[in-house]
Chain A
Amino acid sequence: MTGGLGSALGLIGAFFPPDLSLSYLGAALVPVVQTIAMAAGGMLIACLVGVPLAMVIGARLPGSGILYGALSAVRAVPDLTLAILCVIVVGLGPAAGMSALAVFYTAMVGKVFADLFRAADWRPLEALRATGASGLSVALFGLFPLTLNDLISMGCYSFECAVRAAVIVGAVGGGGLGTELVGTLNAFDYHRATTLIIILVLIVTALDSLSWWLRRNPRVILLFVPLGAAALWTYRPEMVALRHAASAIGAMFPPALPQGAINRLPRLFIETVFIAVAGTALAAALAIPLALASARNMVPVPVASAVRALLETLRAVPEVIWGLILVTLIGVGPIAGVFALGIHSAGVLGKLYAESCENVRLAPVQAIESTGAGRLAVAFFGIVPLASGAMAVHTLFRLEWNLRAATVVGMIGAGGIGQALYNAQQLFFYDQMMAYVLITWAMVMLSDALSARTRRHFGWAHVIG
């Protein structure tokens, strides 16, 4: 293990400097455009299919209960699982990634908009219905205009998420930046991997400001419709291997696990929970000093801004992408998962902790300062205890998120139940793979239900960040 860690440290050096040659930056443009196009295409399908489904549910047409349940169930399937399935059916490449995004976001758009429609004001709709209009026309004429603003702002937010997800689905062969990154890692082309990470950070940063701007000019989002349509045409699934796809799907059913795999399940569950807990603990341990070094009431503003930029970088790269790099660095297994979750969550928690530290009451801090205490002592005795309540809540929310993320990062080889899925897929044991798909799906549903209960119990409104 120490030897592994030593060689891992040596390998980190191999990632620098990044390859910033014009020729590679030009070549990297293709996966960048592919990623954005995949997101646009997936979102276009999601809106075209998801919004009508939501209207059916919103108008409470027959069967809407079952439909709503189905959308909730599909939404609980992690995007990476969908991508693995789509790669098997459609083949490697952006067509698979885009299909996975289309399914994932159809469920998301359908469910979220159905909730919006249900929350809409019903009195004008009753008036419409009183004219004798059918349920569907009530939906078309009544619901849609009522919630247009909500729809557009929701669309902006989903698009931002979809671009991140488009990178993630690439990690299992779904095309775009993710697939390019896997390619560079497999070719030991680490300088170029660093280039791709930098590009990813830049895209995410640009998206943050873009979505802020889109929220003020929401109609601009319509410009992405032609891009999405073009992407759908360019990356349309060419079902040349239709027979292969059919046999692959056939091989998934009935899902089955050999006795040995069933015996290993409890260990895999424990390993997954371990990855989540240890990853969150690592994140908190890293985040506390980083937060103190980026809180504007602790350090001079230039230092705070520099540390904040570091936190943004950690946060901008999703767990799955950190996972890919760490699996390269320290090998397949749960330790890679712990570090992947730890690094990404350190960015998230560091930012939230820093805000908590900046928001503490001033009087007790000044009282501690007036004893002649140094900066660090003021932090330990004043700022951190005062912020500890808010910090604990943020950490618990992160643990909840990481229980889900621990399942997902396994699918690129980072340990736990997800890795069993990954191994089964790599070995073409499709019946076993499907069994793990169902198990991870149930686990995610269970952890979502558990956290919803906990949240209601403590009266916490919703996740911040």
Chain B
Amino acid sequence: MLEIENLTVRYGGTALPALQGLSLAVEPGERVAIIGPSGAGKTTLFRAIGGFVPIESGRIAVAGMDVGSTRGRRLRDLRRRVAMIAQRHDVVERLRVYQNVMAGALGRWSALRAFRFLLWPLGSELDEARAALERVGIPEKLHDRTGALSGGQQQRVAIARALVQKPVMLLADEPVASLDPALADHILSLLCGLTREAGIGLLCSLHQHDLARQHFDRVLRLERGDAAGRAAANAGLVAAS
């Protein structure tokens, strides 16, 4: 499903790589948590899997497609198979909830259909959005302005968008960092339940060790190395059970 071999990523002009020599594999339906301090490169890892940052060396493959060598239309196709959920602020607040949810379908829609949907959504499209919202527990918010929702509800909208995307792999970058503990627990249960049901691989970064162990099949630790220690620490993810 997801295979990463010996990955090194370096942002332009910086001496230290953001990620170095990282290897990782996630099977279909498997739930893997990555824990580690801020700045360890968790977000960089996710952005690299989505093809948003250039890979210096090593390789990433999603469902057999090589991320580093894919461009244009095929890259968009690859992104469609990898859904991403971020910590917060990644829904468009000015859009209605159903518009944010159906943004998950943009990868398979033409620009023309996307434009038509904004102005004039069809009943079947609204039904699809409602079904996704039912699975995350807020179907009644379909027509609300997304900006008017609470932080936890916005996170559910982001999850519903990921479901509409029909991905083979779900990447969640600190999805519960801005939520209170009870809600965090609930959202993680939701994410894990939904991905297991659909046979989707889940890779999720977290701060909280206990939450990670409670919900995930495997917990890995990504260390932030200093100039000397980084290479050794990143040489592989350390199983942290």
Contacts and interface: CB of A to CB of B under 8 A. Distances in A.
A binds B: yes
Interface of A: 361, 363-364, 366-374, 376-378, 380-382, 385-386, 388-389
Contact of A370 (B84, B108, B111, B118): B84
A374 B92 contact: no
A380 B114 contact: yes
Given A367-B158, A381-B103, A381-B114, A372 B94 contact: no
Contacts of A369: 52, 79
B201 interface: no
B109 interface: yes
B114 A372 contact: no
Nearest to B118: A380
A380 B94 CA distance: 12
B83 A371 contact: yes
Contacts of A364: 89-93
Contacts of A380: 111, 114-115, 118
Nearest to A364: B92
B80 to A, nearest CB: 3
Residue among A363, A369, A371 with the highest chain B CB neighbour number at 10 A: A371
B94 A386 contact: yes
Contacts of A367: 84, 86, 90-91, 103, 158, 161
Given A361-B89, A377-B111, A371 B106 contact: yes
Contact of B76 (A373, A382, A388): A373
Contacts of B50: 370
B107 interface: yes
A371 B165 contact: yes
B76 A372 contact: yes
Contacts of A388: 94
6 contacts: A367-B90, A370-B79, A372-B77, A374-B76, A381-B99, A386-B93
Nearest to B103: A381
B193 to A, nearest CB: 22
Contacts of A371: 79-80, 83, 103-107, 161, 165
Interface in B161-178: 161, 165
Nearest to B162: A371
Contacts of A377: 106, 109, 111, 114
A385 B93 CA distance: 8
Contacts of A372: 76-81, 106-108, 165
B84 A381 contact: no
A382 B50 CA distance: 18
B161 A376 contact: no
**How extensive is the interface on chain B, given as a class?**
35 or more
B70 to A, nearest CB: 11
Contacts of B60: none
A369 B161 CA distance: 13
B111 A385 contact: no
Closest 6 CB pairs of A and B: A372-B107, A372-B80, A373-B106, A367-B90, A376-B111, A372-B79
A266 to B, nearest CB: 36
Nearest to A365: B92
Nearest to A388: B94
A382 B80 contact: no
B149 to A, nearest CB: 14
A181 B162 CA distance: 60
A374 B103 contact: no
B154 to A, nearest CB: 11
A376 B76 CA distance: 13
Given A366-B52, A371-B165, A381 B95 contact: yes
B82 interface: yes
A385 to B, nearest CB: 4
Nearest to B113: A377
Contact of B111 (A374, A382, A389): A374
B228 to A, nearest CB: 33
Contacts of B78: 372
Interface string B131-150: 00000000000000000000
A17 B104 CA distance: 50
Contacts of B92: 364, 368, 381-382, 385-386
Given A370-B82, A372-B107, A363 B90 contact: yes
Contact of B94 (A363, A366, A374, A385): A385
Nearest to B76: A372
A19 B188 CA distance: 71
Contacts of B114: 373, 376-377, 380-381
A364 to B, nearest CB: 5
B163 to A, nearest CB: 12
A257 B4 CA distance: 84
A305 B241 CA distance: 54
Contacts of B93: 364, 386
A372 B105 CA distance: 9
A381 B146 CA distance: 13
A377 B84 CA distance: 17
Contacts of B89: 361, 363-364
Interface string B219-230: 000000000000
